[in-house]
Structure 1
Amino acid sequence: MLFSSIIKGIAIGLMLSVSVGPVIFAIIKQSINNGHRGGIAFIAGVSMSDIILVSLCNFFTQLFSSTGAFEKIIGFGGSFFLIGLGLYNLFLKKSITKQDEEVIKVKLSKRGIVSIFFSGFLMNTLNPAVILFWIATSASIMVSAKTFPHEIQYRILVFLTCLIFNLCVDISKVFLAGKIRNRLTPHNIHIINRISGVIFIIFGCVLLYGIYTGHVLSH
């Protein structure tokens, strides 16, 4: 169970970390304009948002599946959403390029750090794609966790591993902001979107197979 949950957690974290969206550009902008403190404050807000969203999504998917009637429907829906998101990233998603090339260094106050924290929190929380991603992932993991004797512990380990992995990657983005910024050309973003699309599709198919057959591939 431990190995399987860690692998799945890293896989989910990898999907999040390679996705190119507004959050990565905000992390880079905050890190360059406001230094490492600004970047860390921003990703702290994003991470807090993820923790709350993961908790809520797991609670509601568990609530709706408590009778067992909708368990597989929820799982299939989540898996198909992840596959659809992968196809979107692979074929339809347009490259997002940075709009603001000007770097303005400012000295951060405590109020400024709090403001940056909440900007990260709100940007992540109000992003419909993030909410749908966590709903789909929570639903799929909930169903696959049924094959383990300690279901709750398994789910906690999966999402804890995912959140820690994603936080570590975001912290690395803060310290490598300058180098990452210069490499986020439309061509490179297009390649990253395709890679993330393939990862989403593979992960969705693995979860779909596990739900359909009633066992998990990593066993």
Structure 2
Amino acid sequence: MPDAHHLLLFIAAGWLLNLTPGPDVLYIVTNALRSGARAGLVAGLGITAGCFVHVFAAAIGVSALLATSATAFTVLKYIGAAYLLWIGVKILLAKAPAQEPDVAALAAAGKPRELKSIFAGGFLTNVLNPKVALFFLAFVPQFIAPDADNKALAFVLLGVIFNLNSIPVNSGWALAAAWMARSGSVRRGMHWLDKAAACMFIAFGLKLALTDNPSR
């Protein structure tokens, strides 16, 4: 483990990185706008769960495989890109409701099946993105001392800290989006916000599909 100074630096860097908008933030905000704060919080927890998969995979060398194997990287890249495109197209083709949704009512209802689906979507959004795996492989080792006795354990501990620190940031995105959804102007424009989110998911999917393996 790094000393206190480097640990605080690691935490601060993690918060800044989690504040950066990307597919994860978009997924949280979209669900919070459409279904309330609870849906956004669940989306964030699904994304965090997906990050834990990457942390443990990186610790046992799967991320190194993705970094060096063009085939492994390409397969996961296209699966992840297809999933993001599917989310975007699904939202884009969805029909506008005849009546504006009552966000407060949706949040209070908290349908278990819907929340499970949102959690699974966030989980897959993260797990199927090889760039997340390579991020952990590139970022975390910088804070591991060269003379550490057990580098794999240090990697896992730092990865766990990074993921736990992402929860308040993701929760903040969810609560902010849910608060915005309660205002009349946002609710009236919900249909167009959905279309904008759909286009952004499609753009992220295309960007991921066109990403080259960093090892090349």
| Fold agreement, TM-score > 0.5 | yes
**Corresponding residue SS for 1:94:** helix
Deviation at 1:25, TM superposition (A): 1.7
Query: Is structure 2 residue 35 aligned with structure 1 residue 26?
Result: yes
Contact 1:15 1:199 in 2 (8 A): yes
Q: How does 1:45-194 map to 2 (within 5 A)?
A: 45-55=42-52, 57-58=53-54, 61-62=57-58, 65=61, 72=69, 74-88=72-86, 94-96=92-94, 97-98=96-97, 101=100, 103=102, 116=110, 121-125=115-119, 127=120, 129-137=121-129, 139-147=130-138, 148-149=141-142, 150=144, 152=156, 155-156=159-160, 159=163, 163-179=167-183, 180-185=186-191, 187-194=192-199
Contact 2:31 2:39 in 1 (8 A): no
TM-score by length of 2: 0.57
Could you give the per-residue CA deviations for residues 126-168 of structure 1, whole angstroms, max 9, x where no partner exists?
A: x4x433212123x433334334444557745764565443321
Structure 2: stretches of 5+ with no match in the other structure: 1-8, 145-154
Contact 1:18 1:192 in 2 (8 A): yes
Deviating above 6 A after TM superposition, structure 1's stretches of 4 or more consecutive aligned residues are none
Could you give the per-residue CA deviations for residues 28-53 of structure 1, whole angstroms, max 9, x where no partner exists?
A: xxxxxxxxxxx4x5544444444344
Deviation at 1:170, TM superposition (A): 0.9
Please give the alpha-carbon distance, in whole angstroms, between the structure 2 residues aligned to 1:15 and 1:194: 12
Opposite residue 176 of structure 1, the aligned amino acid is M
Opposite residue 183 of structure 1, the aligned amino acid is G
Opposite residue 187 of structure 2, the aligned amino acid is R
**Corresponding residue SS for 2:182:** helix
Contact 1:78 1:136 in 2 (8 A): yes
Deviation at 1:172, TM superposition (A): 0.8
Opposite residue 193 of structure 1, the aligned amino acid is A
Structure 1: stretches of 5+ with no match in the other structure: 28-38, 107-111, 214-219
Q: CA RMSD in A?
A: 4.4
Contact 1:44 1:117 in 2 (8 A): no
Deviation at 1:176, TM superposition (A): 1.5
Deviation at 1:60, TM superposition (A): 6.0
Contact 1:6 1:161 in 2 (8 A): yes
What number of residue pairs does the alignment pair up? 187
TM-score by length of 1: 0.57
Contact 1:77 1:136 in 2 (8 A): no
Please give the alpha-carbon distance, in whole angstroms, between the structure 2 residues aligned to 1:68 and 1:171: 36
Instruction: Percent identity, please.
Output: 5
Query: Is structure 2 residue 18 aligned with structure 1 residue 9?
Result: yes
Contact 1:82 1:133 in 2 (8 A): yes
Please give the alpha-carbon distance, in whole angstroms, between the structure 1 residues aligned to 2:14 and 2:60: 23
